[in-house]
Amino acid sequence: MKVHLKALGCRLNQSEVDSLARQFLAHGHSLTDAPAEADLMVVNTCAVTQEAVRSSRQSIHRLHRANPQARIAVTGCYAHLAPESVRRMAGVAHVVDNYAKEALLSIVTGEPLAAVQPFDLEPLARQALIGAGGRTRAFLKVQDGCDRHCTFCITRVARGKGRSRPIADVVAEAQMLSAHGYQELVLTGVHLGSYGHDLGQPEALVHLLRALLQETSVPRLRLSSLEPWDLPRALFALWEDRRLCRHLHLPLQSGCDATLRRMARRTTQAAFRALIAEVRAIMPDAAIATDVIVGFPGESDKEFAISYAFIEEMDFAALHVFRYSPREGTPAARMPHQVPEAVKRARAEKLLALSQQCSRRFAERFIGQKRPVLWEAISGATEHGFINNGYTDNFLRVRCVVPHVLSNLLTDVQLEALAEDGALLGALEAAQLAQIDTSTR
């Protein structure tokens, strides 16, 4: 069969679609980017907000219109939460919930699952999914589900209890991805920081990272979102190893203790402030980013002002700002004092303006320094060469113009200036350019 795969939402969904891709290839099927060519189309949906549900439905409609003959298999959080609504949609032949997702191939083909072998990745490489123009980093699922009960969160409802993949499995997959040219692996999960808790091993995240550093040669390991509590004591000491990217995403959600209590978040201003101080003591050049929800039920102007002041004090490298979206089935959706949309919009605009200032201020700190950059896509060319784009280990966006396509190369870059759009302009040393020149001839 020709299979078209689509991931919506989070990095975890993307990593699951990557695994499905490898499985379909291991079974002798092929992948296509063109829905019109597909016999089967698989959609890994998202339901984190009402908007995410709307775009999941829209994607399914669009695929069916593009190819009414093909079967559609829908999985992911929206399929898990509303299977009957999905089943009634035109073209949908299979609805697979999050618990059965890993067996999706067997469910839709009837074939018993075959183990994925390293050579199974050949077609992936051939399809330029790795390197030039393709992706240079792979998302590596290490954990699923969550045992917490944040009152706004539907993810824990859709993904179930916390469960960790065995370290040996994760290391084996990392070795396979590294052997196929991925320069960076991003560890993903629903509640990554709770890795190992279900196994009675609260320090397991440290053991996992150590195993990945010792048993793989991948140049870069990056962590996706880490809830800011219950983190193993020895975790941050691991960052002595420069292969661990100096980039932490620690969702705060609100900077006001009263709001945090209504959200049932296991952090406070004081605890979060102490965590950030601990991180900055070990890695002062780390990019610390966060998520913030504005307009949570009961968030008064005073609470928002407290939250804003705390966020400003924390001086993040980047803010991801979300307007609170009531999700049926969550306690917060039933709370009184829901905030009007206009107020949410105004608060979001204020925080987005702050985020821009913070990101520029963070980037300016590194002008004049040299940082390692993993080059990704080309965004054009000038008479001086190709416009290469990439990210530093501490997630600074960098651009440079050289007469080579640098995709999937890791090079040191002299950071020279900050462009209007927030990217840093960089230069490669002549010796490095000469080396690339020789290796590409």
Q: Which residues bind ligand SF4 (CB under 6 A)?
A: 146, 148-150, 153, 155-156, 190-191, 227
| Beta bridge partner(s), residue 223 | 187
Least distance from ligand SF4 to the Cβ atom of residue 153, Å:
3
| Beta bridge partner(s), residue 253 | 292
Q: Report CA Rg, the chain.
A: 22
Instruction: State the DSSP H helix or E strand holding residue 361, giving kind and residue range, or none if neither.
Output: helix 341-364
β-strands 143-144, 137-141: how paired?
unpaired
Of 23 and 44, which CB lies nearer to ligand SF4 in the complex structure? Answer: 44
Of 125 and 199, which CB lies nearer to ligand SF4 in the complex structure? Answer: 199
Least distance from ligand SF4 to the Cβ atom of residue 104, Å:
22
Least distance from ligand SF4 to the Cβ atom of residue 158, Å:
10
Are 258 and 305 in contact by the 8 Å Cβ rule? The answer is no
Least distance from ligand SF4 to the Cβ atom of residue 288, Å:
18
Of 101 and 191, which CB lies nearer to ligand SF4 in the complex structure? Answer: 191
Q: Tokens in use for 249?
A: 């995403």
Least distance from ligand SF4 to the Cβ atom of residue 64, Å:
31
Neighbouring C-alpha atoms within 13 Å toward the C-beta of 377: 7
Of 264 and 318, which CB lies nearer to ligand SF4 in the complex structure? Answer: 264
Distance CA 129, CA 132 (A): 8
Are 47 and 56 in contact by the 8 Å Cβ rule? The answer is yes
CA 122-142-171 angle, 5° bins: 55
CA dihedral 144, 148, 152, 158 (to 10 degrees): 30
Distance CA 10, CA 177 (A): 20
Least distance from ligand SF4 to the Cβ atom of residue 43, Å:
22
Residues 6+ apart with CB under 8 A from 306: 255, 256, 257, 258
Of 92 and 256, which CB lies nearer to ligand SF4 in the complex structure? Answer: 256
Phi, psi torsion values for 54, nearest 5 degrees? -60, -45
Of 150 and 415, which CB lies nearer to ligand SF4 in the complex structure? Answer: 150
Distance CA 259, CA 364 (A): 33
Of 44 and 267, which CB lies nearer to ligand SF4 in the complex structure? Answer: 267
Least distance from ligand SF4 to the Cβ atom of residue 317, Å:
21
Of 161 and 242, which CB lies nearer to ligand SF4 in the complex structure? Answer: 161
Least distance from ligand SF4 to the Cβ atom of residue 264, Å:
8
Of 155 and 325, which CB lies nearer to ligand SF4 in the complex structure? Answer: 155
Distance CA 406, CA 386 (A): 9
Number of Cβ atoms within 10 Å of the Cβ of 385: 16
Of 227 and 257, which CB lies nearer to ligand SF4 in the complex structure? Answer: 227
Are 65 and 28 in contact by the 8 Å Cβ rule? The answer is no
Q: Tokens in use for 387?
A: 């416009």
Instruction: State the DSSP H helix or E strand holding residue 256, giving kind and residue range, or none if neither.
Output: none
Are 182 and 205 in contact by the 8 Å Cβ rule? The answer is no
Least distance from ligand SF4 to the Cβ atom of residue 74, Å:
22
Least distance from ligand SF4 to the Cβ atom of residue 154, Å:
8
Distance CA 249, CA 379 (A): 27
